[in-house]
Chains A and B, each alone.
Chain A
Amino acid sequence: MTSTLLGSRRGAIVAVVIVLIALALPKLVYPVLAIDIVAYALFAVAFDLLLGFTGLLSFGHAIFWGGAGYVSTILIAKAHLPFPLAVLAALVYAALLALIVGAIAIRRQGIYFAMITLALAQLQYFFAYQLGEWTGGENGVQLSGRGTLFGIPLENDVAFYYAVLAVAALGTYLVVRIVRSPFGAVLNAMRENEQRAVALGFRVDRYKLVAFVLSGTLAGLAGVLFAVGNRLSGLDGVDWHTSGKVVMMSILGGIGTIFGPIVGAGMFESLDYFVSKTAIGDKTNIVMGTIFALCVLLFRRGIVGELLALRSKRSETG
């Protein structure tokens, strides 16, 4: 699926459209919302690395998003660390956490894997609650400023957005490179038929763990961008509803397509935000739930997936 997408004209068009929208986004919507959209996009791409390309459904990915968010904001707020150091520390945290979670969860498959990730995410939620002195408990951590980058303050929302965009673009590029590498080919083989991969001599569990750590670290990066961008982190970041949210975004956009999760995140966040401001605002969850249910029932390939399938069918008969 990926090779047809990335090397193709259709893929290029989708990419260009995304880039154009991304560049203009702060002018189209409120800048901090734009930051959120891009952060979620990176989160979804990281998540999809695990689901669409490795075939592992994690129902606890908020553990990295929220956990890294907490670490970075706490370090900026309490230790007054400059932004790059805080990010680095948060990434190290995310990577280590991914190593531990992955090591435990990968020993099982399918539903069990998902349940273990969920359970471990709940454990982190619990600790976030209990360690109130650090995390502010249910009040969360508020930042009075975003810190500095080599001495330059990061307060201007629009400037910060473009920095976030650049980071997200790099992250996405990293995922693309991973997927198109020999490592990615093995992941693909594992996803299609794990027993065959094992029979071919691949240490399947090791590959899964590496993929998990990569996915978790990138998700953590996205979480840092979100938390610092919003100048706060809180329990919603580590809540299982957030884990569910990124699953929905990826599926909505189309798993295994790189751009799918980006589109899914963009649509989901904007829809969520704008619907909540309209007259039917208090029915937002019903709307989002229905859209997602329909997607699962009818458009399982997601928006981008369906778009690509459509085009390729046409070119086949054409």
Chain B
Amino acid sequence: MRVSRSLPAALALALLCSSLNAPPARAADSGPIKIAVITDMSGVYAALAGPGAVEATKMAVEDFGGKVLGRTVEVVGIDHRNNGPDAAIKAREAYDNGADLALDMTNSAVALAVASVAKEKKKLAIVTGGASSALTGASCNRYTYHYAYDTYALAASTGANIAGTSNGKTWYALVPNYAFGTQMLADFTAAIERKGGKIQKADLYPFGPTTDFSSYLLAAKNSGAQVLGLFNAGADTVNSMKQVKQFGIDKVMKVAVGLGFLSDVDALPDVFAGSRITTSWYWNEDKAARAWADKYAKRMHGLRPTDIQASDYSAATQWLNAVKAVGTTEGDKVQGYLDNRQFNDFYAKGGEWRGRDHRVIHEMYVVDILPKEQVKEPHAWFKIVQTIPPGRAFRPESQSVCKKDW
């Protein structure tokens, strides 16, 4: 049998090869510097990040001058297809081919997978779009930073904002029974209770996707609670919001959507109108934001950037600044420079790269989503109702569970 006969030969060759195998050559300190934007190019997060994220990163590089340390900077867009193993392989390959930074990773599973690879390769990864607070908690590592938002920030903003009002004290929560959902519930419970409110009931529904929320929504309506908290994401949020409107629940309860983005409202404006969410940035929040959004719109056919896309621009710029300052792209050195550094740009007000757990903090904004009639120009869906300062928006350092090993 051919296979068995060639087995010893295969083993011999294997030993020979592994002894000859040199480690992959580092794109020596003279080739181009590469930023790998690992994002969802075609799936559910494509509008939130996707090609827009790659474009935003390219804008950052161009505005920086296209070069740093005398080397050109290249931006490579990689589709992670919402698949952890796929993303990990592509990240590995990108790092081995000379990428010094992995950026975006919108999708928590992907973010965690790439963070693992970053640690192994000792190269930096900055997660903008993933939500999991585990990135700065149990899964924290020296080479990974969490840039835009996390579940704690959402809770500390939306939760605190609504619970701080007199008709926002009692909540009914709809929670999908998986890591994101239960984390949201935990974070929101804490935030609401800090303001003297309480979650009357939390309905954990099986994460499926579930398409029918009628039993939960009717229970919510009948509970007499003042606020309906939807601690889900994606299709679940859309389905539950549609049914909220169907049952007329938004007329008797305030609706807090745990996680929502500009791109979601662009797709389904009627569904989200009237609800309250938290965002890390809004394109029309001030002159500087708007100026950048105008530049983005020119390149993206009039679309307005989401906060994640803006965060990619911001993170890329900050990283390039750091590389220039330390004179190398080496992960350890850049990380050493970034830790505890404070900064401000059009995206991050009061920004700081926290050294304790690599959580990047900045202002967060609680916004109401306007119905079509009140929207003054295309994509101007948000109305900021409260600004949360960085110190309050993110988990305090003292409560971090990150086992810092650097």
Interface size on B, residues (CB 8 A): 45
Is the contact region of chain A dominated by helix, strand, or loop, or is it mixed? helix
Question: In the complex, are the beta carbons of A165 and B10 less than 8 A apart?
Answer: yes
Question: In the complex, are the beta carbons of A142 and B41 less than 8 A apart?
Answer: no
Compute how far the CA of A165 lies from the CA of B7 in the bound complex, rounded to whole angstroms. Answer: 10
**Residue numbers in A under 8 Å from B14 (CB-CB):** 23, 159, 162-163, 165-166
B67 close to chain A: CB less than 8 A: no
Question: In the complex, are the beta carbons of A139 and B109 less than 8 A apart?
Answer: yes
A270 close to chain B: CB less than 8 A: no
B window 135-159: CB within 8 A of A: 139
**Residue numbers in A under 8 Å from B115 (CB-CB):** 142
Question: In the complex, are the beta carbons of B6 and A19 less than 8 A apart?
Answer: yes
Smallest CB separation, A175 vs chain B (Å): 10
B374 close to chain A: CB less than 8 A: no
Interface size on A, as a range, is 35 or more
**Residue numbers in A under 8 Å from B178 (CB-CB):** 129, 132, 137-138
Contact of B18 among A12, A32, A159 (CB under 8 A): A159
Question: In the complex, are the beta carbons of A158 and B10 less than 8 A apart?
Answer: no
Q: Which A residue sits closest to B114, measured CB to CB? A: A142
Question: In the complex, are the beta carbons of A142 and B10 less than 8 A apart?
Answer: no
Question: In the complex, are the beta carbons of B3 and A231 less than 8 A apart?
Answer: no
Contact of A132 among B81, B92, B116, B179 (CB under 8 A): B179
Question: In the complex, are the beta carbons of A30 and B17 less than 8 A apart?
Answer: no
Compute how far the CA of A162 lies from the CA of B14 in the bound complex, rounded to whole angstroms. Answer: 6
A244 close to chain B: CB less than 8 A: no
Known: A158-B17, A166-B14. Is A15-B2 also a contact (CB below 8 A)?
yes
Smallest CB separation, B403 vs chain A (Å): 12
Question: In the complex, are the beta carbons of B113 and A142 less than 8 A apart?
Answer: yes
Compute how far the CA of A77 lies from the CA of B18 in the bound complex, rounded to whole angstroms. Answer: 26
Question: In the complex, are the beta carbons of B88 and A276 less than 8 A apart?
Answer: no
Interface string of A30-46 (1 = CB under 8 A from B): 10110010000000000
Interface string of B174-212 (1 = CB under 8 A from A): 000111101000000000000000000000000100000
Compute how far the CA of A134 lies from the CA of B78 in the bound complex, rounded to whole angstroms. Answer: 30
Inter-chain CB contacts under 8 Å: number: 129
Question: In the complex, are the beta carbons of A232 and B113 less than 8 A apart?
Answer: yes
Q: Which B residue sits closest to A13, measured CB to CB? A: B2
Q: Which B residue sits closest to A284, measured CB to CB? A: B81
Smallest CB separation, A272 vs chain B (Å): 9
6 example contacts (A-B, Cβ-Cβ < 8 A) are as follows: A12-B2, A19-B6, A144-B120, A159-B14, A162-B10, A166-B11
Chain B residues near A (Cβ < 8 Å): 1-4, 6-7, 10-11, 13-14, 17-18, 21, 41-42, 78-79, 81, 83-86, 88-89, 92-93, 96, 108-109, 112-113, 115-117, 119-120, 132, 134, 139, 177-180, 182, 207
| Sample of 20 further A-B pairs with CB below 8 A, known A32-B93, A137-B178, A234-B84 | A15-B6, A19-B10, A23-B14, A30-B92, A129-B207, A139-B109, A139-B112, A140-B109, A140-B113, A156-B18, A156-B21, A159-B14, A162-B10, A226-B85, A231-B88, A231-B120, A232-B85, A276-B86, A277-B78, A282-B41
Chain A residues near B (Cβ < 8 Å): 6, 11-12, 15-16, 19, 22-23, 26, 30, 32-33, 36, 129-130, 132, 136-140, 142-144, 156, 158-159, 162-163, 165-166, 169-170, 172-173, 176, 226, 230-232, 234-236, 273, 276-277, 281-282, 284
Q: Sort A-B residue pairs by CB-CB distance and give the 9 closest, nearest first.
A: A162-B14, A282-B42, A15-B2, A137-B179, A142-B116, A159-B18, A234-B84, A230-B85, A158-B21
